[in-house]
Structure 1
Amino acid sequence: MSDPTHGWEAVAGRFAAIRSEVGADVVRRWAADLPAGGSVVDIGCGSGRPVALALAEAGLAVSGIDPSPTLLAAFRRALPDAPAACETAEASGYFGRRFDGAVAIGLLFLLPPATQALVIGRVAQALRPGGRFLFSAPAVACRWTDTLTGRESQSLGAAGYRVLLAEAGLRLVGSYEDSGGNHYFAAVG
């Protein structure tokens, strides 16, 4: 039986308890290029800490999508006025609207390559023209077992993501690294 939460519901309490502020600095730097008061969807938002909160503190209108009911309940407590949907990134309706930006931190590499491509395509459709997309994945193509969920993870690497982004009508424009050594890709539509 397939787990639509990709292992996150089973570890939701533990994840929420140990999630650090690592990555918030990258999100803040990336968000500086968005329009003041712009809209951002946090895909795989988890509890909202630290990513969605950093976006809200930057003055952006944040919406959250996560398939884990436990993590989404924590997101709603952290950001009670933010629209939130309990659904997967690949099946989301993205609130039936378009956004100035989208973030997917700690998500894509947990998905099989074909699903990663599908999600990138769905994100591209949910962005306004010129919209920005930030996601995390190792810079080199590799496979590993996620230490928290125990699920196989796969980064397609910079070359692989450049191809998928281009196929979706997005262009890779930069990258970041956070204080924990995690890599982020930045794209624009």
Structure 2
Amino acid sequence: MGLVRWWAANAFPPSTAILDLGCGSGVPIAQALAGDGFAVWGIDASPSLLSAYRANLPNMPARCEPVQHSDLFARRFDGVVAIGLIFLLSEAEQDTLLAKVAHALKPDGRFLFSAPRQRCEWHDTLTGRESRSLGAEAYAARMAEHGLVLVGGLTDEGQNYYYDARKSA
């Protein structure tokens, strides 16, 4: 969560609109971003988690729907975060989501998401779902196809890897 706060603080001025995909209950990421003065919008497919999000962040817009089927509020954002989400989607759904995020970002907008650097598959113990990372080269190439440029990679204290991308102007 500290890494996400650092990223947002260094990428945007306060009050910037940031979309949190797979926001869950809003704790800790959306809550921390909102506490830092950002306008956070959340999307999550779980009714119970979205109910908790609405209780934790009553003044922040939220929708209960799968991100891969969402219109992402049919608006543009300065930033989008997807922490612990993209690798839960199929390869085709990941590509669809990258295209949607690129469309939802304003020019020079930023996208931060977590996934392993290497291409791999595993059984996610938190969700019980099969998970897959396409790997750094594939993510960079697919993002480029949608007008997103990989500007860097970050690693948090738990050694989780984050991709930091910018939408072309």
**Range class of TM-score, shorter chain:** over 0.9
**Which runs of 5 or more residues in structure 2 are unaligned?**
none
Shift of the alpha carbon at 1:37?
Answer: 1.3
Work out whether 1:26 is the aligned partner of 2:8.
Answer: no
Q: Which amino acid aligns with 2:87?
A: F
Q: Which residue of 1 aligns with 2:87?
A: 109
Q: Which runs of 4+ in 1 moved over 4 A?
A: none
Which deviations, in whole Å up to 9, do the C-alpha atoms of 1:13-61 show, x marking residues without a partner? xxxxxxxxxxx11101110211331100000000001110121122110
Which is bigger in relative contact order (C-alpha 8 A, separation at least 6)?
1
Let me know the Cα RMSD of the aligned residues: 0.8
Q: Which range moved further: 63-72 or 175-184?
A: 175-184
2:51 aligns with 73
* Deviation (angstroms), 1:179: 1.3
| Aligned counterparts of 1:168 and 1:142: Cα–Cα separation in 2 | 23
Q: Which SS does the other structure have where 1:59 is aligned?
A: coil
Matches within 5 A, 1:5-154: 24-32=1-9, 33-154=11-132
Letter of the 2:96 counterpart: L
Q: Secondary structure at the residue paired with 1:124? A: helix
Q: Percent identity?
A: 55
Equivalent-residue separation in structure 1 for 2:3 and 2:60 (angstroms): 21
TM-score of the aligned structures, taking structure 1 as reference length: 0.86
Counterpart code for 1:97: R
Q: Secondary structure at the match of 1:90?
A: helix
SS in 1 for 2:60: coil
TM-score, normalized by length of structure 2? 0.96
1:131-188: CA deviations, max 9, x gaps?
Answer: 1000000011111000122211000111010011101110000111111111110000
Structure with bigger strand share is 2
Q: Which runs of 5+ in 1 are unaligned?
A: 1-23
CA distance in 1, matches of 2:147, 2:20: 20
Cα pair 1:35 1:100 within 8 Å, conserved? no
Q: Which amino acid aligns with 1:51?
A: I
Partner of 1:160: 138
Residue 177 in structure 1 maps to residue 155 in structure 2: yes
